[in-house]
A and B are shown apart, each in its own frame.
Chain A
Amino acid sequence: MAQKKWPETWQEVTPGCMIFEGGNSREYHTGSWRAQRPVWDNAKCIKCGICYIFCPEACVKEDARGYFAADLDYCKGCGICAHECWPGAITMIEEG
């Protein structure tokens, strides 16, 4: 079904606001919601992957060396990763 990524007018809203493509939450950049951003201190990181597992946005990615960082297009700044990181490798800092 051909449709725009995002309806502009009410006429473009599909019946029931149904969405016929999988994976289109990628189009929606929740990063603009963020008031704080998580910053990783790899010196303290033990590469346990807890931050990766707990991020509700699934936006924490592992790099080639096994360290982690957030994709800031999607990171909402909720702070869950920092709260869960038990070695204290993640700090939330104010945006802007």
Chain B
Amino acid sequence: MSKRIGMEIALAAAEAVALCRPDVIAAYPITPNTHIPEHLSDIVAEGRLDAEFICVESEHSAMSACAGASGTGARAFTATSSQGLLYMDEVLGIVSSMRLPVVMAIGNRAISGPINIWNDHSDIMTMRDLGWLSLFAANGQEAVDMMIQSFKIAEDAAVQLPINVNLDGFQLTHMVEALFLPDQKEVDRFLPRRKPYAALHPDHPVTMGALGMPDIFTEATKARDQALVDSRKVILKVWKEWEKQFGRRYEPIEAYKTKGADVVMMTMGSMGETAEIAVDELRKDGVPVGLLKLKLWRPFPFEEMKKAVRGVKTLIVTDRCCSLGGPGGPLAAEVRSALYAEAARPVIENALIGLGGRDVTVDDFKQMFRQAGKSKGIYEFYGVRG
């Protein structure tokens, strides 16, 4: 039976990972994800989990160790943030191209500089195009649930791709929340042992990560892209199974009070919880507003996106990072390309908010709702001084 506990979300996420019985955990500490692997090392040291915990000397090694372990058929896990993710970068595309279902938690933090340890989404966006599946948790319960779902999604015979679960640094990682933690029996029932497509073993030679010349690279890339596109079906299936067993519903884009809404806000991650309160308060005053919370970042849910904005006049897409010198925020860019070919589409505004840990309050969301339709240019740094 699931138990309802109050726990720091990073620790709860670590407990959830332990329930998935990973064989290998390789991690290097970096704020604000540190409590996740730290707590896992405690769990291993206490003998509660029979796993190899590798204290690596860098994130590059952490991801390399996960790649090697996953190649042998092991269930591998790591976690990181910000600069640590950048240090892994070289290996991230290798892991996805080799179709290794490594699971990674990212305690989202700004990419420096100026040097900053606080939350935004600029870290995950640097690995947007590297072939990983990507989920965003809005609260501690989702972080726990997504950790467990991730192993099942990644290891599915039709997927075999690495996946990252994004938890906003501090806003989620360091927050104590009341949540349901499933027990071992329940997780064992939900998540079978990994059955690898192939595994490194001296008795059965297999080459992983071979050279791909110009005469095969296009075909290999098309196959990778298709694998991500096709993973959507499995993600939806796993979420259905989760709902059936645990009663909590997951969908690529969660709609909150969008019925009859003229203006709709879109968020990723923990800001959705704050935005909900703003929607409630404005609705009470008779202002028809709503909210869309994106949970599935890769593969991007194009079809769900089109459906979600039917009848909406203005869509305010929030981005917790800036594509410097580009089209504003990465989420808005994706939303715009998803809706470009639609005959009827809302006016799309893009607010860059919550950068480098700046608080975004209920009043900020209400203010953004009130300013809807007044944005100059295709994106705006909300609340920027000057």
Contact = CB atoms under 8 A, between A and B. Distances in A.
Q: Looking at chain B, what size class is its interface with the partner chain? A: 20 to 34
Nearest to A11: B223
B198 interface: yes
A5 to B, nearest CB: 12
B222 A19 contact: no
Contacts, number: 53
Interface in B82-120: 97-100
Contacts of A17: 97-98, 209-210, 212, 216, 220
Contacts of A10: 218-220, 222-223, 226
**Looking at chain B's contact residues, is the secondary structure mostly helix, strand, loop, or mixed?**
loop
A7 B219 CA distance: 9
A17 B221 CA distance: 10
Interface in B201-229: 205-210, 212, 216, 218-220, 222-223, 226-227
A13 B223 contact: yes
B80 interface: no
A12 B227 CA distance: 13
B224 to A, nearest CB: 9
A9 B219 CA distance: 6
Interface residues of A, number: 15
Interface in A1-53: 6-7, 9-13, 15-22
B197 interface: yes
B85 to A, nearest CB: 22
Contact of A20 (B97, B98, B100, B198): B198
Contacts of A16: 97-100, 160, 197-198, 208-209
Contact of B216 (A7, A11, A18, A21): A7
Interface centre among A17, A20, A22 (most CB of B within 10 A): A17
Rank and list the top 6 A-B pairs by shortest CB-CB distance, nearest first: A16-B99, A19-B207, A10-B222, A10-B219, A13-B223, A16-B98
Given A16-B160, A20-B207, 6 more contacts: A7-B216, A10-B222, A16-B99, A16-B198, A17-B220, A20-B198
Interface of B: 97-100, 160, 197-198, 205-210, 212, 216, 218-220, 222-223, 226-227
